[in-house]
Amino acid sequence: MAPASEGAPRRILIDTDPGVDDAMAIFYALASRELEVVGLTTVFGNAHVEVCTANAIRILDIAGRPDIPVAQGAARPLAMPYRGPADFVHGANGLADVTLPPPSRAPHPLDAAHFIIEQVDAAPGEITLVPVGPLTNIALAFLLRPDLPSKLAGIVLMGGNAFVPGNASPAAEANILNDPEAADLVLGADCPITMCGLDVTEATVMSSAQIATISEMGNPRARLAAQILPFYRDFHVAHGGPDGIHVHDSTCISYLLAPQHYGVRHHPVRVDTGWSVGRGKTWPTTRHALSEGPWAGRRAVTILTEVDAPAVVALELTRLSRP
Protein backbone atom coordinates (compact mmCIF):
# COMPACT_ATOMS: atom_id res chain seq x y z
CA MET A 1 0.00 0.00 0.00
CA ALA A 2 1.23 3.48 -0.86
CA PRO A 3 1.23 5.93 2.06
CA ALA A 4 -1.70 8.32 2.25
CA SER A 5 -0.98 11.78 0.87
CA GLU A 6 -1.92 15.18 2.28
CA GLY A 7 -2.58 16.31 -1.29
CA ALA A 8 -5.20 13.64 -1.87
CA PRO A 9 -6.54 12.48 1.50
CA ARG A 10 -7.54 8.84 1.75
CA ARG A 11 -11.21 8.58 2.72
CA ILE A 12 -11.75 6.24 5.65
CA LEU A 13 -14.73 5.01 7.65
CA ILE A 14 -13.79 3.84 11.15
CA ASP A 15 -15.88 1.04 12.69
CA THR A 16 -15.20 1.21 16.41
CA ASP A 17 -16.08 0.14 19.97
CA PRO A 18 -14.58 2.97 22.07
CA GLY A 19 -12.53 1.91 24.18
CA VAL A 20 -9.35 3.69 25.24
CA ASP A 21 -7.26 2.52 22.28
CA ASP A 22 -10.17 3.30 19.93
CA ALA A 23 -10.19 6.89 21.17
CA MET A 24 -6.46 7.11 20.50
CA ALA A 25 -6.89 5.77 16.96
CA ILE A 26 -9.73 8.21 16.21
CA PHE A 27 -7.75 11.18 17.52
CA TYR A 28 -4.71 10.03 15.52
CA ALA A 29 -6.75 9.82 12.31
CA LEU A 30 -8.39 13.21 12.87
CA ALA A 31 -4.98 14.82 13.43
CA SER A 32 -3.64 13.42 10.13
CA ARG A 33 -4.39 15.56 7.10
CA GLU A 34 -3.61 12.60 4.83
CA LEU A 35 -6.88 11.03 6.00
CA GLU A 36 -10.49 12.15 5.66
CA VAL A 37 -12.77 10.46 8.20
CA VAL A 38 -16.18 10.23 6.51
CA GLY A 39 -17.92 8.66 9.48
CA LEU A 40 -17.78 6.45 12.53
CA THR A 41 -19.87 3.33 13.02
CA THR A 42 -20.13 1.66 16.40
CA VAL A 43 -20.28 -1.95 17.49
CA PHE A 44 -20.42 -3.89 20.77
CA GLY A 45 -17.05 -4.94 22.13
CA ASN A 46 -15.16 -2.98 24.74
CA ALA A 47 -18.57 -1.83 26.04
CA HIS A 48 -22.23 -2.25 25.14
CA VAL A 49 -22.97 -0.65 21.79
CA GLU A 50 -25.05 2.19 23.27
CA VAL A 51 -22.08 3.15 25.47
CA CYS A 52 -19.73 2.90 22.49
CA THR A 53 -21.99 5.18 20.46
CA ALA A 54 -22.11 7.81 23.20
CA ASN A 55 -18.32 7.58 23.53
CA ALA A 56 -17.80 7.97 19.78
CA ILE A 57 -19.87 11.15 19.78
CA ARG A 58 -18.04 12.45 22.86
CA ILE A 59 -14.67 11.78 21.18
CA LEU A 60 -15.75 13.81 18.15
CA ASP A 61 -17.10 16.56 20.43
CA ILE A 62 -13.72 16.82 22.16
CA ALA A 63 -11.96 16.84 18.78
CA GLY A 64 -14.22 19.64 17.55
CA ARG A 65 -15.67 17.53 14.72
CA PRO A 66 -19.47 17.64 15.02
CA ASP A 67 -19.62 17.33 11.21
CA ILE A 68 -18.63 13.64 11.26
CA PRO A 69 -21.66 11.34 11.49
CA VAL A 70 -21.86 8.43 13.94
CA ALA A 71 -24.09 5.44 13.13
CA GLN A 72 -24.88 2.84 15.77
CA GLY A 73 -24.47 -0.80 14.81
CA ALA A 74 -24.64 -4.33 16.11
CA ALA A 75 -25.32 -5.03 19.79
CA ARG A 76 -24.27 -8.69 19.61
CA PRO A 77 -22.35 -11.14 17.41
CA LEU A 78 -23.87 -12.98 14.47
CA ALA A 79 -24.11 -16.42 16.08
CA MET A 80 -23.65 -16.20 19.84
CA PRO A 81 -24.44 -13.97 22.82
CA TYR A 82 -22.26 -10.95 23.54
CA ARG A 83 -19.49 -11.95 25.98
CA GLY A 84 -19.86 -8.68 27.88
CA PRO A 85 -17.81 -5.51 28.26
CA ALA A 86 -14.11 -5.43 29.09
CA ASP A 87 -14.51 -3.26 32.20
CA PHE A 88 -11.18 -4.32 33.65
CA VAL A 89 -9.37 -3.14 30.49
CA HIS A 90 -11.25 0.04 29.56
CA GLY A 91 -13.35 0.91 32.62
CA ALA A 92 -17.09 0.54 33.13
CA ASN A 93 -17.83 3.46 30.78
CA GLY A 94 -15.31 2.33 28.14
CA LEU A 95 -13.14 5.41 28.69
CA ALA A 96 -11.28 4.62 31.92
CA ASP A 97 -14.22 5.77 34.09
CA VAL A 98 -13.38 9.40 33.35
CA THR A 99 -16.44 11.63 33.80
CA LEU A 100 -17.31 13.27 30.49
CA PRO A 101 -20.13 15.58 29.34
CA PRO A 102 -23.10 13.88 27.71
CA PRO A 103 -22.89 13.43 23.94
CA SER A 104 -23.98 16.54 22.07
CA ARG A 105 -26.22 14.82 19.54
CA ALA A 106 -28.09 11.69 18.58
CA PRO A 107 -26.55 9.12 16.25
CA HIS A 108 -27.28 9.01 12.53
CA PRO A 109 -30.75 7.61 11.72
CA LEU A 110 -29.29 4.73 9.67
CA ASP A 111 -27.88 1.68 11.41
CA ALA A 112 -24.19 1.01 10.86
CA ALA A 113 -24.51 -1.60 8.11
CA HIS A 114 -26.82 0.58 6.01
CA PHE A 115 -24.68 3.66 6.70
CA ILE A 116 -21.61 1.79 5.43
CA ILE A 117 -23.52 0.81 2.30
CA GLU A 118 -24.68 4.40 1.75
CA GLN A 119 -21.17 5.82 2.09
CA VAL A 120 -19.57 3.24 -0.21
CA ASP A 121 -22.29 3.60 -2.85
CA ALA A 122 -21.80 7.38 -2.82
CA ALA A 123 -18.05 7.07 -3.48
CA PRO A 124 -17.31 3.75 -5.20
CA GLY A 125 -13.65 2.79 -5.09
CA GLU A 126 -12.78 5.58 -2.64
CA ILE A 127 -13.65 4.34 0.86
CA THR A 128 -11.28 2.31 3.03
CA LEU A 129 -13.02 0.62 5.96
CA VAL A 130 -11.00 0.71 9.18
CA PRO A 131 -12.65 -1.69 11.65
CA VAL A 132 -11.00 -1.66 15.09
CA GLY A 133 -13.58 -3.78 16.92
CA PRO A 134 -15.54 -6.96 16.19
CA LEU A 135 -16.30 -7.28 12.48
CA THR A 136 -20.07 -7.71 12.85
CA ASN A 137 -21.13 -4.47 11.14
CA ILE A 138 -18.90 -5.12 8.15
CA ALA A 139 -20.20 -8.68 7.83
CA LEU A 140 -23.81 -7.47 8.00
CA ALA A 141 -23.16 -4.91 5.27
CA PHE A 142 -21.62 -7.62 3.08
CA LEU A 143 -24.55 -9.98 3.73
CA LEU A 144 -26.98 -7.24 2.73
CA ARG A 145 -24.92 -6.31 -0.33
CA PRO A 146 -22.65 -9.11 -1.59
CA ASP A 147 -21.27 -6.73 -4.25
CA LEU A 148 -20.05 -4.20 -1.68
CA PRO A 149 -16.45 -5.48 -1.35
CA SER A 150 -15.89 -4.78 -5.05
CA LYS A 151 -16.75 -1.11 -4.43
CA LEU A 152 -14.26 -0.61 -1.59
CA ALA A 153 -10.75 0.79 -1.82
CA GLY A 154 -9.94 -1.80 0.83
CA ILE A 155 -10.14 -2.81 4.48
CA VAL A 156 -7.45 -2.17 7.09
CA LEU A 157 -8.54 -3.94 10.27
CA MET A 158 -7.22 -4.39 13.79
CA GLY A 159 -7.60 -8.00 14.77
CA GLY A 160 -6.18 -11.46 14.59
CA ASN A 161 -2.97 -13.24 15.45
CA ALA A 162 -1.32 -14.99 12.53
CA PHE A 163 1.93 -16.32 14.00
CA VAL A 164 1.69 -15.41 17.72
CA PRO A 165 -0.60 -16.45 20.61
CA GLY A 166 -3.91 -14.75 21.34
CA ASN A 167 -4.71 -12.23 24.05
CA ALA A 168 -8.36 -13.08 24.81
CA SER A 169 -7.58 -16.80 24.86
CA PRO A 170 -4.40 -18.75 24.16
CA ALA A 171 -5.70 -19.10 20.60
CA ALA A 172 -7.53 -15.89 19.76
CA GLU A 173 -7.30 -12.11 19.66
CA ALA A 174 -10.15 -10.22 21.35
CA ASN A 175 -11.84 -8.54 18.36
CA ILE A 176 -11.94 -11.77 16.36
CA LEU A 177 -13.08 -13.86 19.35
CA ASN A 178 -15.98 -11.47 19.88
CA ASP A 179 -17.46 -12.58 16.53
CA PRO A 180 -15.52 -15.33 14.73
CA GLU A 181 -18.28 -15.94 12.18
CA ALA A 182 -18.25 -12.29 11.10
CA ALA A 183 -14.45 -12.27 10.96
CA ASP A 184 -14.31 -15.35 8.76
CA LEU A 185 -16.83 -13.82 6.36
CA VAL A 186 -14.99 -10.48 6.15
CA LEU A 187 -11.50 -11.99 5.78
CA GLY A 188 -12.82 -13.95 2.82
CA ALA A 189 -14.11 -10.88 0.98
CA ASP A 190 -12.81 -10.17 -2.51
CA CYS A 191 -11.14 -6.83 -1.85
CA PRO A 192 -7.72 -5.72 -0.58
CA ILE A 193 -7.55 -6.53 3.15
CA THR A 194 -4.77 -5.74 5.60
CA MET A 195 -4.75 -7.50 8.99
CA CYS A 196 -3.06 -5.46 11.73
CA GLY A 197 -2.94 -8.10 14.43
CA LEU A 198 -1.10 -9.00 17.59
CA ASP A 199 1.97 -9.95 15.52
CA VAL A 200 2.77 -6.22 15.39
CA THR A 201 0.48 -4.52 17.91
CA GLU A 202 2.00 -6.32 20.90
CA ALA A 203 5.46 -5.48 19.56
CA THR A 204 4.51 -1.78 19.55
CA VAL A 205 4.67 -0.23 23.01
CA MET A 206 4.02 3.34 24.07
CA SER A 207 5.98 3.61 27.31
CA SER A 208 4.84 5.21 30.55
CA ALA A 209 7.42 7.92 29.95
CA GLN A 210 5.94 8.64 26.52
CA ILE A 211 2.42 8.62 27.95
CA ALA A 212 3.53 11.23 30.50
CA THR A 213 4.51 13.62 27.69
CA ILE A 214 0.94 13.69 26.36
CA SER A 215 -0.29 15.76 29.30
CA GLU A 216 2.08 18.54 28.19
CA MET A 217 0.63 18.82 24.68
CA GLY A 218 -2.27 21.06 25.66
CA ASN A 219 -4.84 20.37 22.94
CA PRO A 220 -8.26 18.87 23.83
CA ARG A 221 -7.47 15.50 22.24
CA ALA A 222 -4.28 15.16 24.25
CA ARG A 223 -6.00 16.23 27.47
CA LEU A 224 -8.48 13.36 27.21
CA ALA A 225 -5.74 10.93 26.18
CA ALA A 226 -3.72 11.92 29.25
CA GLN A 227 -6.74 11.18 31.44
CA ILE A 228 -7.63 7.77 30.01
CA LEU A 229 -4.27 6.19 29.20
CA PRO A 230 -3.07 5.61 32.80
CA PHE A 231 -6.01 3.25 33.47
CA TYR A 232 -5.18 1.30 30.31
CA ARG A 233 -1.47 1.28 31.23
CA ASP A 234 -2.27 -0.02 34.72
CA PHE A 235 -4.17 -2.94 33.16
CA HIS A 236 -1.12 -3.86 31.08
CA VAL A 237 1.23 -3.69 34.08
CA ALA A 238 -1.12 -5.68 36.35
CA HIS A 239 -1.40 -8.47 33.78
CA GLY A 240 2.29 -8.95 33.09
CA GLY A 241 2.53 -6.55 30.18
CA PRO A 242 4.96 -3.71 29.52
CA ASP A 243 5.42 -0.55 31.55
CA GLY A 244 3.23 1.20 29.04
CA ILE A 245 0.55 0.12 26.57
CA HIS A 246 0.39 -2.09 23.54
CA VAL A 247 -0.60 0.05 20.56
CA HIS A 248 -3.49 -1.89 19.06
CA ASP A 249 -6.09 0.16 17.16
CA SER A 250 -3.73 3.00 16.23
CA THR A 251 -1.67 0.50 14.24
CA CYS A 252 -4.27 0.72 11.45
CA ILE A 253 -3.73 4.47 11.22
CA SER A 254 0.06 4.14 11.30
CA TYR A 255 -0.09 1.60 8.47
CA LEU A 256 -2.24 3.90 6.34
CA LEU A 257 0.18 6.77 6.92
CA ALA A 258 3.52 4.96 6.88
CA PRO A 259 3.34 1.41 5.49
CA GLN A 260 7.12 1.46 5.01
CA HIS A 261 7.47 0.88 8.76
CA TYR A 262 5.91 -2.59 8.50
CA GLY A 263 6.94 -5.96 7.13
CA VAL A 264 4.16 -8.04 5.61
CA ARG A 265 3.29 -11.51 4.38
CA HIS A 266 0.45 -12.43 2.03
CA HIS A 267 -1.72 -15.46 2.78
CA PRO A 268 -5.39 -16.44 2.66
CA VAL A 269 -6.82 -16.47 6.19
CA ARG A 270 -9.57 -18.52 7.79
CA VAL A 271 -11.03 -18.08 11.27
CA ASP A 272 -11.78 -21.01 13.57
CA THR A 273 -15.54 -20.88 14.10
CA GLY A 274 -15.71 -24.12 16.06
CA TRP A 275 -16.87 -24.20 19.65
CA SER A 276 -13.73 -25.57 21.26
CA VAL A 277 -10.44 -24.15 22.55
CA GLY A 278 -9.35 -22.81 19.15
CA ARG A 279 -12.42 -20.63 18.56
CA GLY A 280 -11.46 -17.26 17.07
CA LYS A 281 -7.96 -18.25 15.96
CA THR A 282 -6.94 -16.68 12.64
CA TRP A 283 -5.27 -19.32 10.48
CA PRO A 284 -3.19 -18.22 7.47
CA THR A 285 -2.18 -20.88 5.00
CA THR A 286 1.47 -20.63 4.05
CA ARG A 287 0.97 -22.87 1.03
CA HIS A 288 1.19 -21.04 -2.29
CA ALA A 289 -1.99 -22.58 -3.62
CA LEU A 290 -4.62 -24.91 -2.24
CA SER A 291 -7.01 -26.29 -4.83
CA GLU A 292 -9.39 -27.61 -2.19
CA GLY A 293 -10.08 -27.33 1.51
CA PRO A 294 -11.07 -24.41 3.76
CA TRP A 295 -8.73 -21.86 2.15
CA ALA A 296 -9.61 -22.65 -1.47
CA GLY A 297 -10.64 -19.66 -3.56
CA ARG A 298 -9.89 -17.09 -0.88
CA ARG A 299 -7.92 -13.98 -1.72
CA ALA A 300 -4.60 -13.44 0.07
CA VAL A 301 -4.73 -11.05 3.02
CA THR A 302 -1.84 -8.67 3.73
CA ILE A 303 -0.70 -9.66 7.23
CA LEU A 304 1.53 -7.29 9.18
CA THR A 305 4.34 -9.33 10.74
CA GLU A 306 7.14 -6.84 11.52
CA VAL A 307 7.19 -3.26 12.75
CA ASP A 308 9.60 -0.41 13.37
CA ALA A 309 7.92 0.29 16.69
CA PRO A 310 9.87 3.41 17.73
CA ALA A 311 9.06 5.05 14.40
CA VAL A 312 5.31 4.45 14.53
CA VAL A 313 4.97 5.45 18.19
CA ALA A 314 6.88 8.65 17.45
CA LEU A 315 4.57 9.35 14.51
CA GLU A 316 1.44 8.91 16.63
CA LEU A 317 2.76 11.18 19.37
CA THR A 318 3.74 13.82 16.83
CA ARG A 319 0.25 13.80 15.33
CA LEU A 320 -1.44 13.86 18.73
CA SER A 321 0.56 17.00 19.60
CA ARG A 322 -0.89 18.98 16.68
CA PRO A 323 -3.15 21.87 17.74
Report angle CA 41, 42, 44 to the nearest 5 degrees: 155
pLDDT at residue 3, as a whole number? 80
pLDDT at residue 286, as a whole number? 79
Do residues 49 and 43 lie in contact, with contact meaning Cβ atoms separated by under 8 Å?
yes
Can you say how many angstroms the Cα of residue 31 is from the centroid of all Cα atoms in its chain? Answer: 17
Residue 15: its H or E element: strand 10-16
Neighbours of 240 (CB within 10 A): 6
> Which stretches of the chain score pLDDT less than 50?
none
267 is catalytic: no
pLDDT at residue 289, as a whole number? 55
248 is catalytic: yes
Closest among 123, 319, 301, 298 to 225, alpha carbons compared: 319
pLDDT tens, position by position, 158-211: 999 999 999 999 999 999 999 999 999 999 999 999 999 999 999 999 999 999
Strand order in the sheet with 193-196: 70-72, 35-42, 10-16, 127-131, 154-158, 193-196, 301-307, 262-267
Q: Which of 17, 179, 199, 272 is catalytic?
A: 17
Verify cis geometry, omega within 30 degrees of 0, for the bond prior to 19: yes
Domain 10-320 bears CATH identifier 3.90.1310.10: no
- Is the pTM higher than 0.85? yes
Q: Which of 90, 108, 246, 248 is catalytic?
A: 248
